[in-house]
Chain A
């Protein structure tokens, strides 16, 4: 066929459109996954607002803010990779992708430090660890931390997925044709921005809304 990767498409243009469209549908599906969890949080917050407000103050605002900055920067480098790839400037595109995934790893490391701190303080209600909480209404504060760990771990897993996607993209980079490189950068980029936007909602909901 005329320069398409798969025999089902008549033109590279149609193949490109199908790929991008599929990624949008997938992002829609993912939005429903996070939507369900956000909804759980919303209802819990309506019921136990004061307990959630005081529990939220035990999260580390500086580390959370730093991580937000890291992720937004990674979205910027991803956008650069997209732009460079469309202009076929392959070397800067690869560097931007590397920067993006490094920032993703940086986010995960900081998140790990944050988790370590919370586990030390006895704020992690998981694996039977002792839950030590001095504030009011400790039962519902525990619920807050259950939700906090579930939501942020789910997000971190998606970030790992994004980093692996970039790694896969770079592994097949040398052999890929220009059109395929561009298609894949667009698709992976869309996913990366989505994971980023999820955090942009998660950060204020968990860290800021009660201050």
Chain B
């Protein structure tokens, strides 16, 4: 299929606000999400920068304690629910899932658009809480602080997260049904790209865990507004119950956030090392294993909460078990690189950085899963560093890898590779400079969520704050070179990276319904070792291979 045969692209289907806001094309809905999520990412990021500036000195000189509490709460709420949870699924997943399985759209295109409106509606509640005076409970809304003592706009923030949960469930149902019913002829389960497997596993977690979060948040709102005391000991309730319900969602939510990132990396690494993904089935099934194990480890957030000691031992053991499927993936990715013809395009750089940062963050997780060590490290900067290595170093890096990998498909334009490589490297350096010192701080006993600290911690805090500035530059750069590529970038060929996968067989950007005729699949995914892929590989920097 060549682009000459295609009458038009999805981008040429009208550019009025109505054509975008009332579209049911999954590719345009992906753009709606991309624009809104980018705005939230930079809003949450700005709050983080303010916190890091405050922490450059031991005294509380930039913001008061009350403001600082609101900054970290809103940073967490916005980054978790308004960026990380929807990030890859709602943007790249929305765009690519139908393309990758050879479908004309998602199973329910209108539900897909509706999910974006629900997302925006929920985000209005959250933004209202920001403007009206903020929330100071932390993103975890722990009771009884959130129900009895917090004086911020807890109910509106919780309602916002509750409403966004509906959008998550809608996306989850849509993806699950699409994968089950709309695969192209010949596309068996074990020929699916790993990105599709991870989206499927993510969707299962979304559909099964989000309702529990909904239940716990609605109980908080009921307690604050109607005085129903499920978590209030004075009325016979139990505050610890909230932690159980909350983490029953929020631990699986960690896997909602990381699994799609693993999927992206599984696409990028084989492409730029010209090798089939090592151990395809193990990688596919380990995604499902992570999704299942993710439901059984919530208690490791509560080791020091006074839960049963036997319970803690079991949760600790199960938490170590999650490391197994994660390690399977890391080893398989590493072995994919072995003897490959590796080239360092921007998305490959991001993917390799993911590999390192995710491994580093994951290993720190083993410290925290160990009962005795956790007593020392609980609620310190060690925990902050651990989950930022996974969520930012892992997920956001994978998101950037995916954005650069599929940017030619999304827009039909090429961006500047040089600028991309510089940005990736700046991000990597800035990230490590920001968060590695936080491991040291946490190990030395610096607790999280304080805006002042004893002077002996200042050295590491200054390093971390300096790193945050570098990291911010690394994240701001793509805004400029990706933005300018929209107007000045070279036209992208259909398959610039010479990659396998159905999404590369249609034109760049794809036509409105993706494929003129539904393709028939005859090969496994990642057939980089098979003949038929030797057409010219796009590279502005080096001559095409003979």
Contacts and interface: CB of A to CB of B under 8 A. Distances in A.
Interface string B89-128: 0000000001000011111110000000000000000000
B211 A32 contact: yes
Contacts of A141: 236
- Sort A-B residue pairs by CB-CB distance and give the 6 closest, nearest first: A143-B236, A33-B211, A36-B215, A32-B211, A18-B181, A36-B212
Give the contact-size bracket for chain B.
35 or more
Contacts of A135: none
A16 to B, nearest CB: 10
Nearest to B235: A142
A150 B214 CA distance: 13
B207 A143 contact: no
Interface in B432-460: none
Interface string A48-83: 100100000000000000000000000000000000
Nearest to B206: A29
B240 to A, nearest CB: 10
Interface in A134-156: 139-144, 146-147, 149-150
Contacts of B11: none
Nearest to B110: A6
A172 interface: no
Given A21-B180, A128-B227, A146-B230, A8 B106 contact: yes
A10 B216 CA distance: 41
Contact of A8 (B104, B228, B234): B104
Interface of B: 98, 103-109, 169, 172-174, 176-177, 180-182, 207-212, 214-216, 219, 222, 226-230, 234-238, 241, 245, 248, 513, 518
A148 to B, nearest CB: 10
Given A21-B181, A37-B215, A142-B229, A48 B173 contact: no
A202 to B, nearest CB: 15
Nearest to B181: A18
Interface residues of A, number: 39
A127 interface: yes
Contacts of B173: 22, 25-26, 29
Given A8-B109, A29-B211, A142-B235, A125 B228 contact: yes
Contacts of B107: 8-9, 18, 22
A170 to B, nearest CB: 20
B177 A146 contact: no
A33 B214 contact: yes
Contacts of A40: 230, 241, 245
A146 B235 contact: yes
A139 B109 CA distance: 50
A201 interface: no
A14 B180 CA distance: 11
A30 B214 CA distance: 10
A48 B230 CA distance: 14
Given A8-B103, A128-B227, A146-B229, 18 more contacts: A7-B104, A7-B105, A8-B109, A8-B182, A9-B107, A22-B176, A25-B172, A25-B207, A26-B207, A29-B207, A30-B211, A32-B208, A51-B236, A125-B229, A126-B227, A139-B236, A146-B228, A150-B219
